[in-house]
Amino acid sequence: MDHPLATSAAESALESDTPLLYALPGFLGSTFMTIGAFGVGWFPLSTNALNWPMIQFLQTQSLGLALARSFVIVGAALLLQAWLVVGVDALQGRITGLRTMYIVIAAWCLPLLLAPPLFSRDVYSYYMQGRLQLAGHNPYLSGVSLVPGWFRSGVDPLWADVSTPYGPIFLGIERLVAIIAGDSALLASYLLRLTSLLGVVVLAWCVPRLARIHGINAVPALWLGVMNPMVILHFVAGAHNDSLMVAAICLALWLALTNRTTFSIVVAALAVGIKPVAIVVLPFIALILAGQNPTRRSRIYAVLRVAFTTGPVLIFSSALVGVGAFGWIGALATPGSVRSWLSPITAIGMMWGGFIQIMGLGNHTDVTITITRVCGALALGVLLVGLVLRPTGRSATRGAAEAFLLLVLLGPVAQPWYLLWAIPLFASTGLSRNQLRAAILVTCGFTIHGLANWSATADTFFELSDGLAILISIATLALAILTSAQERGLILGKKIEHGLSPKDDAAQLRAQSKLL
């Protein structure tokens, strides 16, 4: 029989080694992706870094380009596999401390802080919108093409003549970054990544606390909601400002649930000031403020309180930035100018238009897309109103999660990182076995999509057909996902028998107390 002290020492040693065991594979994956990013990431044409020998080799030589692409694909595969391995232990209770999870998340993100923008070059649009403001123009009325040198600064021509889709708070951040970075678009991209990383940090703080409030184990909630490879690919490597918006939404909900009501509304208003789509969370903040079993009077009071706090915050921030009090309202329609096959509503419209054209009745795709988008908007409006007016059986946080998911499914445009508007909230409020399996498959699928779509569109790659790029990505990642029985069990649902739900009576009571 083992001596109790020896057993305790062995357990302590195992606990101290565990973070490293979980962190190392993902750290290597992120490191590989960072190396590859210097060959296939986005550099502005104006940067002197393009003259560095290593970057020239990775970007201009066939062997260098092949190595760069391979590093990114293999790195993403390692990261995804490491996430699945951690998921098995997190869901089965073998990881009990948030400290381990935080160390692992930090290790996985750290290498990518050195990488140029990867999977997206939206950061250069952010920067040039800041430059546009410094030049005396209003981003709600003008595109960045008015700024000399916009193309050499890395902006996607798709956004050259489009007004900004962002709120006044983020315009202020863009302006500040443009002041600090001066003429260096590359420096601006790193500064903007730090702001996105701040969002990830706030998310990592909020999600476990929201989960505990809803009776959910904080460790697997953090695994799904923040350690998620999509967060690392799009919020860290891609530096999308959605990170700040989602973090502010989660923080606002936590503040409301812990009776810090005024702060909650202000933070929710800040989320709207980053991306106006966050306006969807405001009715759910009002539901929380109205309390359990609210009267009509308490509901009206809560709505008025939210409205009369949010309005001044947005008006003041707009005036401070100098873009007009209500220019951000027009930003709500800007993303709809892009056609995306990822949007079910837009995809139906494009397929319908294509069928009509095949039948020889002419090209009416614009009309069919408009029709399906109008139908989607009407359905979305009805469903959102239903979530707010019939909240019984779900918490306000869960209602917000479902609202953002509906917005992605029925909205005019969708991007993979839009799913991250909802995933942290779903992770915080619990998922059944089948729902959790779907969330894992969605994460794996959109990690693959991110690689394949990026491979097909980045102009620094050697030529490969879109289909071949997709097949290479799928084959590499499928091998990583199915490499062991544990991971196959997680994907197929055998390791998640109880899903992500309250496990004991106390947790179930906490969850029940949050149902309106």
Closest CA to 216 of 443, 431, 434: 431
Which amino acid appears at position 505 of this protein? D
Mapped onto helix, strand or coil, the DSSP state of residue 431 is strand
Chain-centre distance of CA 12, in angstroms?
Answer: 36
Q: How far apart are CA 294 and CA 18, in angstroms?
A: 47
Report the pLDDT value the prediction gives residue 366, as an integer from 0 to 100.
79
Which pLDDT does position 333 carry in this prediction? 59
DSSP-assigned beta bridge partners for residue 431: 500
Which parts of the chain have pLDDT scores under 70? 1-17, 324-340, 452-499, 503-516
Residue among 235, 272, 251, 236 at smallest CA distance from 420 = 235
CA 433, 436, 442, 443 dihedral sign is negative
**What pTM did the predictor assign?**
0.87
pLDDT for the residue numbered 274: 94
Q: Are 463 and 69 in contact (CB under 8 A)?
A: no
**Pick from 167, 188, 171, 170: which is nearest to 137 by CA?**
171
- pLDDT the model gives residue 51: 82
Q: What integer pLDDT is reported at residue 6 of this predicted model? A: 39
CB 368 within 8 A of CB 387: no
